Amino acid sequence: MREYLIPIFVVTALALAGCNNSKSPEDVSKDVAKAEQKASNEVTKSEERAQSALDKSYEKISDQEIKFNNDAAHQTYNVAIAKADGNRKVALATCESQSGAAQRACRDQAEADYKAARADARVSAQAAVQQK
């Protein structure tokens, strides 16, 4: 059995001794260049994947932002219409204190103000609505 162990130890010792030998400068240079190229490729691929993921996220955020802004414009329109309705009711109630032609002129003015407020609200809402 010892006959087999000695050659095995010798071969193992030689193999291990060969592991610590330095490479030639040309081999080292080639290995370094390969490693640098591989690292560069990995970084480039990683940057491309990151940019793609960010682009997809931005599209989702952009869509949500547009939806939010459009909802805000719609709600602002609703509030403006409610204010116009309230102002119209107050103006018409005020007109009741008058009579004849003055009451008619007061009502006409209240209706004109109401229509103008509705038109302003519509224009503002349309201007605020965003398209993709």
Measuring CA to CA, which residue among 111, 130, 118 is closest to residue 77?
Answer: 118
**Residue closest to 86 by CA, chosen among 117, 107, 52:** 117
Per-residue pLDDT 10s for the chain (132 aa) are 556 666 666 666 655 555 556 778 888 888 888 888 998 889 899 889 989 888 888 888 888 888 888 899 899 999 999 999 999 999 999 999 999 999 999 999 999 999 999 999 999 988 888 665
Question: Which residue type, as a one-letter code, is found at position 1?
Answer: M
pTM score, two decimals?
0.56
Q: Which pLDDT belongs to residue 1?
A: 57
pLDDT at residue 6, as a whole number: 67
pLDDT for res 54: 85
User: Could you please report the per-residue DSSP string of 8-70?
Assistant: HHHHHHHHHHHHTPPPPHHHHHHHHHHHHHHHHHHHHHHHHHHHHHHHHHHHHHHHHHHHHHH
Of 115, 123, 127, 124, which is closest to residue 85 (Cα–Cα)?
115
